[in-house]
């Protein structure tokens, strides 16, 4: 997910229309309410068919006759491991390398130069990819930085990537992708520079793996201690949360974002009607924001980023 993160349930044709409900009403209510409690994902009341479609395979995998039986098993104390599988099944990790392109161009051409100008003392930056899904966003950032670093060899970048899915995190750490996945978003040059072939898979080179720290994290629960971040990516996640959850999330982001840091959101997402302490600085087919400052000279400097 990323939350958790949530790479979340993704709007696809699967969401269109309705189908006759064949699971018990209490089965759907239990999944809907508990999934919201655990991940903040909101399932509409007409999505019974979605629950059945996603969880039928999981029920069979666990030797259960149907989704009703699966939920009966979930109600038994000690079913937390099974709930991890439920979250994996109900969250779609839809992503690609350099997704939407423009945000990464802004990161390379605008954001990193602005941050590097202000971090000459440490020559080190920190980026967080929240809801990292299968890892393409984090590895895209790592590839981009590798290209920048050719002209700035004494600079360093730490990338934290988090997700709610243990299954996806394991996949991220392995760094293995199919032909179809590398075709989506990678040029031949970037593929050759950053991957090597292993049978029918492409493996991320170790130097990129070493730059990314993948960790479990649920965005809606209490956050662990995090370092101050120069850039936070929480793209295409907030659209699945209700208003109180968004308010809480933006408040948490404010606490870990450096004063001159940047926040990247998806194209359908914005903090402007939720948290007035952010302002947009770049429109990049998605949007890039930073914290407002009351200092007049900071506002003047900020105009140069637009």
Quote the number of domains for the chain. 2
pLDDT at 211: 97
Q: Which pLDDT tens digit goes with each residue over 164-200?
A: 988 899 999 999 999 999 999 999 999 999 999 999 9
Q: Are strands 287-291 and 278-283 parallel, antiparallel or unpaired?
A: antiparallel
pLDDT at 26 over 90: yes
65 and 117 co-located in one domain: no
193 and 136 co-located in one domain: yes
Give a yes or no: residue 4 inside a domain: no
What is the Cα–Cα distance from 111 to 25, expressed in whole angstroms?
Answer: 49
- Give the CATH number of the domain where residue 269 resides: 3.40.50.150
Give a yes or no: residue 97 inside a domain: no
Identify the sign of the CA torsion 160, 162, 167, 168: negative
**Domain boundary pick from 58, 90, 122:** 90
136 and 279 co-located in one domain: yes
107 and 70 co-located in one domain: no
Question: What is the pTM assigned to this prediction?
Answer: 0.83
Q: Which pLDDT tens digit goes with each residue over 193-226?
A: 999 999 999 999 999 999 999 999 999 999 999 9
Find the helix or strand (DSSP H, E) in which 55 lies: helix 48-61
Residue-range definition of the domain harbouring residue 115? 102-305
Give a yes or no: residue 189 inside a domain: yes
Assigned token pair, 159: 């990338």
Give a yes or no: residue 180 inside a domain: yes
Give a yes or no: residue 252 inside a domain: yes
158 and 19 co-located in one domain: no
What is the Cα–Cα distance from 238 to 225, expressed in whole angstroms?
Answer: 22
- Give the CATH number of the domain where residue 61 resides: 1.10.155.10
29 and 132 co-located in one domain: no
**Domain boundary pick from 90, 114, 147:** 90
Q: Which pLDDT tens digit goes with each residue over 32-61?
A: 999 988 888 888 888 888 899 999 999 999
142 and 36 co-located in one domain: no
Give a yes or no: residue 259 inside a domain: yes
Q: Which pLDDT tens digit goes with each residue over 103-153?
A: 999 999 999 999 999 999 999 999 999 999 999 999 999 999 999 999 999
Give a yes or no: residue 253 inside a domain: yes
73 and 117 co-located in one domain: no
42 and 158 co-located in one domain: no
**Domain boundary pick from 90, 125, 150:** 90
Residue range 231-235: mean pLDDT, rounded? 97
pLDDT at 10 over 80: no
Give a yes or no: residue 217 inside a domain: yes
pLDDT at 298 over 80: no
249 and 148 co-located in one domain: yes
Q: How confident is the model at residue 93 (pLDDT cuts 50, 70, 90)?
A: low
CB 289: neighbour CB atoms within 10 A? 25
User: Measured between alpha carbons, how far is residue 220 from residues 67, 180, 225, 287 in Å?
Assistant: 26, 32, 15, 22
55 and 157 co-located in one domain: no
21 and 156 co-located in one domain: no
What is the Cα–Cα distance from 283 to 40, expressed in whole angstroms?
Answer: 27
């Amino acid at each position: 997910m990323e939350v958790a993160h949530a790479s979340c349930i993704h709007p696809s044709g699967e969401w269109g229309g309705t189908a006759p409900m064949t699971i018990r009403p209490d089965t759907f209510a239990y999944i809907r309410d508990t999934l919201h409690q655990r991940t903040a994902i909101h399932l509409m009341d007409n999505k019974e068919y979605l629950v059945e479609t996603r969880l039928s395979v999981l029920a069979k995998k666990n030797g259960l006759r149907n989704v009703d039986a699966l939920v009966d098993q979930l109600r038994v104390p000690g079913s937390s491991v099974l709930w991890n599988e439920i979250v994996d099944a109900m969250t779609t990790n839809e992503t690609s390398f350099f997704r939407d392109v423009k945000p990464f161009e802004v990161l390379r051409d605008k954001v990193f130069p602005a941050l590097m100008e202000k971090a000459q003392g440490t020559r080190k930056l920190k980026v967080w990819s929240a809801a990292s899904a299968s890892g393409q966003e984090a590895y895209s950032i790592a590839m981009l930085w590798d290209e920048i670093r050719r002209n700035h060899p004494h600079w360093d970048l730490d990338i934290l990537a988090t997700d709610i899915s243990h299954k996806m995190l394991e996949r991220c750490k392995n760094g293995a992708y199919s032909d179809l996945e590398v075709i989506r978003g990678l040029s031949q040059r970037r593929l050759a520079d950053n991957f090597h072939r292993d049978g029918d898979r492409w493996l991320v080179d170790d130097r990129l793996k070493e730059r990314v720290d993948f960790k479990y994290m649920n965005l809606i629960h209490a956050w662990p201690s995090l370092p101050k971040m120069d850039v936070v990516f929480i793209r295409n996640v907030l659209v699945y949360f209700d208003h109180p959850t968004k308010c809480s999330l933006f408040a948490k982001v404010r606490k870990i974002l450096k004063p001159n840091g940047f926040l990247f959101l998806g194209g359908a997402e914005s903090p402007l009607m939720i948290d007035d302490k952010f302002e947009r600085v770049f429109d990049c087919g998605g949007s890039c924001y930073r914290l407002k400052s009351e200092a007049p000279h900071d506002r003047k400097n900020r105009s140069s980023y637009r």
